[in-house]
């Protein structure tokens, strides 16, 4: 640790690359034992860092960011599957309504986010139903 570059924050807690990596690891859900082995430190050191307000707040902030990123990725996956299902390029046991319900659960039921995420999809459905019959056969 003596060779690590230290960053001093106003509270007196000294951030090091190892402490930052451990904070990220905790936020990702890794155990203290896993992180201690990986970084060649003791679990006691991690517990001591967790006793520091600044370290705990950073772990909380990182946990929130990781959670938001994970939910956004799941929503992108749901959107992609719905798009593929509408285009009939993927077969799943779930129908479009199931995927829309999943998307709603991933956005805490925020109607604005759901409408924004699927407005283009609904527009495409409308466009496809209004296509002339000869264009539909050409596309197939």
Containing 8, the helix (H) or strand (E) segment is strand 7-8
Q: Does residue 135 belong to any structural domain of this protein?
A: yes
Q: Does residue 2 belong to any structural domain of this protein?
A: no
Q: What is the pLDDT of residue 38?
A: 95
Q: How many domains does the chain have?
A: 2
- Whole-angstrom Cα distance, residue 112 to residue 96? 19
Q: Does residue 103 belong to any structural domain of this protein?
A: yes
Contact 35, 26 (CB under 8 A): yes
Q: What is residue 108's three-state secondary structure?
A: coil
Interval 51-108: pLDDT, tens: 999 999 999 999 999 888 888 888 888 777 777 767 765 555 666 667 667 666 666 6
Q: What is the pLDDT of residue 76?
A: 81
Which domain, by its residues, includes 99? 70-139
Q: Does residue 63 belong to any structural domain of this protein?
A: no
- Whole-angstrom Cα distance, residue 22 to residue 24? 5
Q: Does residue 120 belong to any structural domain of this protein?
A: yes
Q: What is the pLDDT of residue 42?
A: 95
Instruction: Give the Cβ contact number of residue 117 at 10 Å.
Output: 20
Contact 107, 117 (CB under 8 A): yes
């Amino acid at each position: 640790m003596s060779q690590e570059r230290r960053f001093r924050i106003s509270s007196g807690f000294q951030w090091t690359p190892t402490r930052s990596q451990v904070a990220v690891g905790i936020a990702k859900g890794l155990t203290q034992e896993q992180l201690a082995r990986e970084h060649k430190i003791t679990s006691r050191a991690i517990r001591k860092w967790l006793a520091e307000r600044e370290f705990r707040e950073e772990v909380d902030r990182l946990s929130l960011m990781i959670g938001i990123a994970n939910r956004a990725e799941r929503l992108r996956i749901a959107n992609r599957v719905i798009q593929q299902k509408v285009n009939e390029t993927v077969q799943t046991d779930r129908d479009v309504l199931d995927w829309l319900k999943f998307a709603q659960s991933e956005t805490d039921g925020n109607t604005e986010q759901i409408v924004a995420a699927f407005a283009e999809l609904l527009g495409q459905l409308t466009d496809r139903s209004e296509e002339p019959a000869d264009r539909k056969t050409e596309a197939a």
